[in-house]
Structure 1
Amino acid sequence: MQITFLGTSSGVPTRSRNVSSVALRLPQRAEIWLFDCGEGTQHQLLRSDLRMSQIRRIFVTHMHGDHIFGLMGLLASCGLAGNVEEVDIYGPPDLDEYLKASRRYSQTRFAYPIRVHTVQPGTVFEDAEFTVKCLPLKHRVPAFGYRVEEKDRAGHFDVEKAKELGIPSGPVYGQLKRGDRVTLADGRTINGKDLCGSTEMGRKVIYCTDTVYCEAAVELAHDADVLIHEATFAHQEAEMAFQRLHSTSTMAAQVALAAQVKSLILTHFSPRYAPGNPVELHHLLDEARAIFPNTYLAKDFWTYEVPRRLASTLSAMT
């Protein structure tokens, strides 16, 4: 599971940072899930190592332009290329109307199915491997944060040990791989857990932007492996942050600390903190790390590999 940042600026792009978009790459299923799609996102994808043809789901936080203006262009390009099978899009109530109007007035036709899902607090997607949940955040328009949960996996099944025990291959191996107890034809009862390594705990990735500090963000991020949180302003601009319902670096760190996450990645930075200005981004990083030490600054095209935790490791830590 890899996170690639395609846009880390807020409001408007800069020379080094595009507006909001984050790609979650799922190598085990050759899929990419996008979170927000600001103007120019398709250009960022072309400049990255990601394959546009693997985009399968797009999650939109809210309807502000720096989070959605790249959506129609990306969908149209995917259609013209003819290499995308289908796309599911999740977002606020107005998202479906926005896409319908854009298609109507641009006379755009897609050669692949697109399904738009209006999200409500709770589970918005689930399959055998993943669950995606959302909660409303606190912004000037309806905005949602997303929580991606990877389901736990059984540990590696020791085939050689099973053979040594004289367990015949076949459907019984599947039961043992799941950790089930199986009674063999000769009367022996085998505990599948004894033939499997430590359970691989599912990873949890949280995406929260745009929002001022709120309890919903803490709830959404509880015990996450990675929290991606906006940090539009430095701490000294807290009054402006409250007025505009955006977060400071310290607000993001307070969410991470309260939620007991493993890592915090800051993004969605105001252009005012460009190099050479009185306050630069490294100052925001210092502010956040004073509260939550395991904090990183995102930058465009940075890829972060989400580490996997074993059940035995988790037990030792608690």
Structure 2
Amino acid sequence: MKMWFLGTGAGRPNKHRNVTAIALQLPEPETGWWLFDCGEATQHQLMYVPLKLSKLEKIFITHLHGDHLYGLPGLLSSRSFDGGVTPLAVYGPIGLKAYIDTVFSLTETALDYEIVIHELEEEKQGIIYEDGRLRVEAGPLVHRVPCFGYRVEESDTTGPLLADKARALGVRSGPLFGKLKAGEAVTLEDGTVITPESVTDGVLRGRIVTVLGDTSPCEMAVLLGKNADLIVHEATFAAGLEEKAHEFGHSTTIEAARTAQLAGAKQVALTHFSGRYSNDELSQLVAEATAVFPHAIAATDLSMVKIDRVHERRAGQDEISS
């Protein structure tokens, strides 16, 4: 998995950064990607990263403030021009459908694909998407308007097949190998049952990525980020400005770090920085966060974070990332 930060600013674009948009490039063999928020000029930012609009599968909007939403109509329209014909699922708060329908009606925009809009009930937490490989959970955060955080959880899979061991047990190469790789037990002609665990090298642990919208510190942010490989958390203000941050439903660097710490996350990427901070000042903001949680980084526009999958090997073998 790769997380691309298309915009890391708060409120409005400035010389240092664009407004919020984050792309999650799905793990191979998938070729698609998902988008979290779509601030103004998101489609322009996409020109600088290796993601095609025609491959966009899902959009998750955290809330209906303009800096997270104003780029959506243009991006949806451009997807048709870029050859997008498959259905596109869009998730977000109540009012999202009215916004899209109104803009498209007034501009007489016609698309070459179907948009399926899923509006989320305010204050409700739960699974909003699941396909056997990936699951998405949404939960309400604390902001001035209804706002959601999203937790993307990948399923565990069996480790690499130990082909020589499988052959030694009588498994012939071919379809039976495929079943074992897929985690299915197979039965040989003599009735012997070969389980995947006996001929595979451990487990590939599923990754967990949490993308939080604008929020003041809250329990839901910790729940959605529990044991995450990566939490994307807003850090609109520097430490010491907690009162101002909470007045507008935001967090400081230290509060973002504390959420990651409480959640037991592996890493937190700070984003949604106020325009008062230049990119040269981001190192100081990170220093504030790492004083609480050592594995904090500052996201910058067009930067990418790779989320590796942990290969948990059998007893006596080391864990490695892949």
TM-score, structure 1 normalization: 0.93
Q: Deviations over 1:154-187 (max 9, x none)?
A: 1112233322332234554344334455442224
Query: Residues 41 and 115 from structure 1, CA distance in 2 versus in 1: closer, same or farther, beyond 3 angstroms?
Result: same
SS at match of 1:273: coil
2:136 is the alignment partner of 1:132: yes
Structure 1 residue 96 displacement after superposition: 0.5
Note the residue ranges of structure 2 that are not aligned, 5 or more in a row. Answer: none
Q: Which amino acid aligns with 2:94?
A: P
Kept after mapping to 2: 8 A contact 1:137/1:217: yes
Q: Which amino acid aligns with 1:282?
A: S
- Correspondence for 2:126: 122
2:229 is the alignment partner of 1:225: yes
**1:5-84 pair list within 5 angstroms:** 5-26=5-26, 27-84=28-85
SS at match of 1:19: coil
Kept after mapping to 2: 8 A contact 1:212/1:247: yes
Q: Deviations over 1:188-221 (max 9, x none)?
A: 3433212111110000000012000000000110
Structure 1 residue 55 displacement after superposition: 0.8
Which of these residues, 149, 154, 172, is aligned with residue 150 of structure 1? 154
**Separation in structure 2 between the aligned mates of residue 39 and residue 178 of structure 1, nearest angstrom:** 42
Kept after mapping to 2: 8 A contact 1:54/1:84: no
**Separation in structure 2 between the aligned mates of residue 25 and residue 313 of structure 1, nearest angstrom:** 29
Query: Residues 287 and 313 from structure 1, CA distance in 2 versus in 1: closer, same or farther, beyond 3 angstroms?
Result: farther
Kept after mapping to 1: 8 A contact 2:21/2:42: yes
**Separation in structure 1 between the aligned mates of residue 52 and residue 288 of structure 2, nearest angstrom:** 36
Q: Deviations over 1:26-67 (max 9, x none)?
A: 142111100000000000001222222211100000000000
**Separation in structure 1 between the aligned mates of residue 56 and residue 187 of structure 2, nearest angstrom:** 44
Q: Deviations over 1:99-120 (max 9, x none)?
A: 0101111111111111101124
SS at match of 2:291: helix
**Separation in structure 1 between the aligned mates of residue 314 and residue 265 of structure 2, nearest angstrom:** 16
**Separation in structure 1 between the aligned mates of residue 101 and residue 184 of structure 2, nearest angstrom:** 49
Q: Which amino acid aligns with 2:208?
A: K
Q: Which amino acid aligns with 2:167?
A: K
**Larger % of helix: which?**
1
SS at match of 2:25: strand
- Correspondence for 2:301: 300
Structure 1 residue 84 displacement after superposition: 4.1
Q: Which amino acid aligns with 1:130?
A: L
Kept after mapping to 2: 8 A contact 1:55/1:84: no
Kept after mapping to 2: 8 A contact 1:211/1:246: yes
Note the residue ranges of structure 1 that are not aligned, 5 or more in a row. Answer: none
**Separation in structure 1 between the aligned mates of residue 311 and residue 222 of structure 2, nearest angstrom:** 24
Between 17-26 and 181-190, the greater mean CA deviation after superposition: 181-190
Q: Which amino acid aligns with 2:81?
A: L
Kept after mapping to 2: 8 A contact 1:2/1:25: yes
Which of these residues, 213, 219, 241, is aligned with residue 209 of structure 1? 213
**Separation in structure 1 between the aligned mates of residue 255 and residue 48 of structure 2, nearest angstrom:** 32
**Separation in structure 2 between the aligned mates of residue 70 and residue 28 of structure 1, nearest angstrom:** 29
Q: Deviations over 1:264-292 (max 9, x none)?
A: 1000000101267xxx2222111100000
Which of these residues, 249, 252, 256, is aligned with residue 260 of structure 2? 256
- Correspondence for 1:96: 97
Q: Which amino acid aligns with 1:7?
A: G
TM-score, structure 2 normalization: 0.92
Number of residue pairs matched? 314
Structure 1 residue 78 displacement after superposition: 1.1
Between 42-51 and 220-229, the greater mean CA deviation after superposition: 42-51
